[in-house]
Copies of this chain bind each other. A is one copy, B any other.
Amino acid sequence: MKSLNERRTIRHYTTQPVPVELLNDLLAQSFRASTTGNMQLYSIVVSTDKERIAALSPAHYHQTAIRTAPAVLTFCADFHRFSLWCRQSNAEPGYENFQSFMNAAMDTLIVAQTFCMLAEEAGLGICYLGTTTYNPQEIIETLQLPRLVFPVTTITIGYPDEHPEQADRLPAKSLIHNERYYDYTPEEIRAAYTYKESLPESQKFIAENNKETLAQVFTNVRYARLDNERISENLIQTLRQQGFFDLGKC
């Protein structure tokens, strides 16, 4: 899979539209991916209308990728459709719980990544929007998602209008453990992150944010504790609102 080794996340797209037939064809192929008990616990909302994309944009903080993308796909965990089928089949569904959300979220992410790989093979560029779980309520309202449907991730897609530097990755051996998890020594941590820290863009990041270390940019600016905690509470509240967290105790 040549495109994988050469891949870059693409955030700037040309104005060339992505034909809806192509999107539907790539999605249909992606539905061959593995799925929990062959239940296919996902729905994909495809947005190509400029106004509809603009309506999704605030939930994603108007980031570059959604401002120029000709198409935006919101991948949703969906136990609603399956539950409707159960009720029509004289069966009482029992999926208003966290494990069912996890099953559906896993199905959803597996399909999303399958779709992304197919799209990149077809010459398209994609970007995952992690903001999907930051502001799920806004997305739920905009896309009119019913109970037991939850937006898990969003893909912006289009023809690339940039060729950025390829992002660095940690040494593979730092991420693979043989037979059991071997905890890291301080030297192993240093070895894993030295290259990343040495990169000019990392140095730029540190300077721009007025920090001492690259890690401080992550802990104080990009993924800070208070933000994570606020997002966590909101996420759990929204899971509850969508019916996926109906536990007596927790």
**How far, in Å, is A170 (CB) from chain B's closest CB?**
5
The residues of B that contact A47 with a CB separation of less than 8 Å are 179
Residues 38-79 of A contacting B (Cβ, < 8 Å): 38-40, 42-49, 52, 76
Complex Cα distance, B213 from A7, in Å, reads 46
A47 closest partner in B (C-beta): B179
The count of residues in chain A whose C-beta lies closer than 8 Å to any C-beta of chain B is 117
Interface status of A215 (Cβ within 8 A of chain B): yes
- A16 interface contact, C-beta 8 A: no
CB 8 Å contact bits of A85-110 with B (1 = contact, 0 = none) = 11011111111011110110110011
Residue interface bits A162-175, CB-to-B below 8 A is 1, else 0:
00000111101111
- Say yes or no for A195: interface residue by CB 8 A criterion: no
A146 in contact with B181 given A92-B219, A93-B219, A113-B114 (CB within 8 Å): yes
Give a binary string over A2-19; 1 marks a CB under 8 Å from any B CB, 0 the rest: 001101010000000000
Residue of chain B at shortest CB distance from A30: B4
Pick the contact of A32: B5, B84, B93, B223 (CB < 8 A): B5
Q: Are A32 and B52 closer than 8 Å at their CB atoms?
A: no
Q: Which residues of B contact A223 (CB under 8 A)?
A: 37, 39, 94-95, 100, 103
Residues of B within 8 A of A45 (CB): 177-181
Report 9 cross-chain contacts, Cβ distance below 8 Å, ordered by A residue: A5-B32, A40-B175, A43-B177, A47-B179, A90-B215, A94-B224, A94-B229, A95-B223, A100-B228
Q: Which residues of A line the B interface, CB within 8 A?
A: 1, 4-5, 7, 9, 20, 24, 27-34, 36-40, 42-49, 52, 76, 81-82, 84-86, 88-95, 97-100, 102-103, 105-106, 109-110, 112-114, 116-118, 121, 126-128, 130, 133, 142-146, 149, 152-153, 167-170, 172-181, 183-184, 186, 189-190, 192-193, 212-216, 218-220, 222-226, 228-229, 231-233, 235-236, 247, 249-250
What 16 additional pairs, Cβ within 8 angstroms, besides A1-B117, A106-B130? A5-B29, A31-B172, A37-B223, A38-B168, A40-B169, A45-B181, A85-B193, A88-B215, A94-B225, A94-B229, A95-B223, A97-B225, A97-B232, A100-B223, A102-B235, A110-B112
